[in-house]
Amino acid sequence: MREELWPGWDSEAPPTEQLDRPLDEQPALVEELLDGDRVSPVPPSPGKRLLAKVLMAVGGVLAAGVVLYTVDLVLSAGEVPRGVVVAGVDVGGLSRADAEAKLRRELEPRLTEPVPVLAGDVRTTLDPERSGLGLDWPSTLAQAGHQPLDPLDRLTSFFTRRTVDVVTTVDADALTQAVDRLAAEQLDHPATEGGIVFRAAGDGVGAYAVEPRWGQQLTDLRGAVNLVKARWLDKSGVQLPMALTPVKATAAGVQAALDDIVRPAVAKPVVLHGEGTDAILTPLAISAAMTITPRDDGSLDVRVDPAKLRQNLQPQLAGTEQEGRDAQIVFTSGAPTVRPSEDGRRVDWAGTFSPLMGVLVKADGRELPVRYRTTKPALTTEAANALGIREVVGEFSTGGLAEPSAANVRAMAAKVDGALVKPGETFSLLGRTGSYGAAFVPAPANDDGTGPTVRGGGVSQFATTLYNAAYLAGLTDAGHTPQPYYLDRYPVGRDAAAIRDDGSPVDLKFTNSLNGAVIVQANVTGSTVTVRIWGARQYRVESDTGPRTNFTPPGVEPGPPGCQWSAGSPGFSVSDTRVLYDAATGAEVRRDSTSTTYSARSAVIC
């Protein structure tokens, strides 16, 4: 094969030796190589040609990249890395001197400009000079670093941006005080719940929205100071995080309540038609009665206070109401007669106000009918007539009244007269008369005009008279206190006290144990007080008084100047037995016994 390709090839020589010979020593080979007609080399395949072209292209690109990288590295030596932005100013690719000049040119004017501060819903400014803020130019550029040597980093720097924070000079105390003062004066505020307020407008009233506002507070002062220090030169300003206090109502909820309910409600008066009289509910009265509270869903709950509406309308509708009156048993001609009862008529405020909210939102037809409810008397005319009060069942009189004690007895009789006691009920003298107030005058405490002067003095005589009338009527004693000293104007063992020497009242009670109701009639004529108890007679009553025992002689004591002489009285004990007989059959029903001990009363020598 070698001989066919190259005839001068020395097949006997080793291949390496033949290739190592100079060409001038191999004329046959040279001649063959130069003779194109006789030598026809085999051309390379298409795949090999493509691979060769690719390798040549890649080599060219790499060679160009190396050249460009070298040129870029040389040209950018000492520059700020590409893509570097300081406080919104692009300084990438500039020399450090040019970068500092550009920063000074664009940022130095902002050193004295107010720093925008956004904190929650507050937008304000901070004075940098008063806050101790300045800029450290070399340190800021030093943060940018140097040109990267990594080819990939240098390539990506053409397409990316890197923000570098400014390095500030700060008077820490001044900045802390400035931020703290800004928070106290402007940033912090309490929550304002959404609502509606009213203002008088001519003859009417205007309604205005109170916009809801979340409360906020700067709780991290140190963090806020650091944020201001780092971001105060940003064109967008400094945003400070705030601790927020939410509110319930939303602005939309407030506006909806204002437009749909409140403003229509106070636009015109509402007329209420009573029986014979109309009442006017003015816009001012409507607004004063409104209660507006936020709901969890952001809306407002609008209501009217019925108590305030009633306070406004009651005087206007008072003439349409009628006071009810119980039937009364009176003694107009000495005998009990029934004074008829009357039904009461009162405004049903709840029923009247029930449709009010629907009327308030209407532009026209703002009218309401007044509803009433009828109240029945506790004692009707029919019930009073059915009580069967037709005769005196117990009567007692005492005399010897003298002024000023007589005035107090008359006042007490007026309060007790007409008292109705139904079966099973208990009558209380103190419950009927109350404390001895303005209707009573100062008088000697004892019924005979002796003792200290107290307001209501002498009323024990009325209590004794009432006690004996109830005793004779067959009513049951429910509690009484005997007088401390015996007075011979009363039955022994059958008296009752109504006042003590210190002026404090003493109660007297009895229970109506009869089959029917009774009524008390009391009056004072001259020096005599009489109490009659009317009803239907059920008993005949007799008294059996025992002997006096355990006598205690009276002492003697000198009285003060101007005193009243008194002979005194001995003390003793006595028992009394009340015997009740059936009024129809005369048969004994029961016996009630009581024991009384009277104290001795010293004689007073003036």
Question: What CATH number corresponds to the domain at position 368?
Answer: 3.10.20.800
Question: Are 95 and 64 part of one and the same domain?
Answer: no
- 343 and 355 housed in the same domain: yes
10/110 same-domain check: no
Co-location of 399 and 514 in the same domain: yes
Q: Looking at 383, 402, 427, which one is the last position of a domain?
A: 383
Length of the chain in residues, anyone?
A: 606
Confidence of residue 415 (pLDDT cuts 50, 70, 90): very high
Same domain, 369 and 416: no
Share of the chain above pLDDT 90, in %: 61
Verify that 453 and 572 share a domain, yes or no. yes
| Total domains, the chain | 5
Average pLDDT over every residue of 478-489: 93
Average confidence (pLDDT) over 273-301:
95
Is residue 97 domain-shared with residue 168, that is, in the same domain?
yes
94 lies in some domain: yes
**Alpha-carbon distances, residue 141 vs 109, 138, 149, 509, 599 (angstroms):** 18, 5, 19, 105, 115
- In this structure, the answer to whether residues 27 and 94 fall within a common structural domain is no
Residue 224 inside a domain? The answer is: no
Lowest mean pLDDT among 178-187, 521-530, 558-567: 558-567
Whole-number average pLDDT of the chain: 86
Residue 26: pLDDT band with limits 50, 70, 90: low
Does a structural domain hold residue 241?
no
Please indicate, yes or no, if residue 239 is contained in any of the structural domains: no
Position 370 scores a pLDDT of 96
Q: Do 183 and 52 lie in a common domain?
A: no
Instruction: Judge if 400 and 520 occupy the same domain.
Output: yes
Lowest mean pLDDT among 2-6, 26-30, 101-105, 369-373: 2-6
Confidence of residue 94 (pLDDT cuts 50, 70, 90): confident
pLDDT of residue 383: 86
Please give the full DSSP string across 491-512, using - where no structure is assigned: -TT----SB-TTS-B---EEE-
Would residue 245 count as lying in a domain?
no
Confidence (pLDDT) at 421: 95
Taking the CA atoms of residue 476, residue 482, residue 483 and residue 489 in that order, the dihedral angle to the nearest 10 degrees is 60
pLDDT number for residue 574: 97
Query: Final residue of a domain: which of 175, 208, 241?
Result: 208
Distance CA 183, CA 228 (A): 13
Residue 7, CA distances (Å) to 30, 40, 86 in order: 10, 14, 79
Cα 250 to chain center, whole Å?
A: 20
Residue 299 lies in a domain: yes
pLDDT of residue 4: 43
* Residue in 413, 401, 411 with CA at minimum distance from that of residue 439: 411
Of 159-163, 312-316, 340-344, 445-449, least confident by mean pLDDT is: 159-163
Q: Which domain holds residue 70?
A: 43-75
Same domain for 573 and 433: yes
pLDDT tens per residue across span 230-273: 888 888 899 999 999 999 999 999 999 999 999 999 999 999 99
For residues 410 and 535, state if they share a domain: yes
Sheet holding 84-86, edge to edge: 89-90, 84-86, 162-164
Residue 105, H or E segment:
helix 96-112
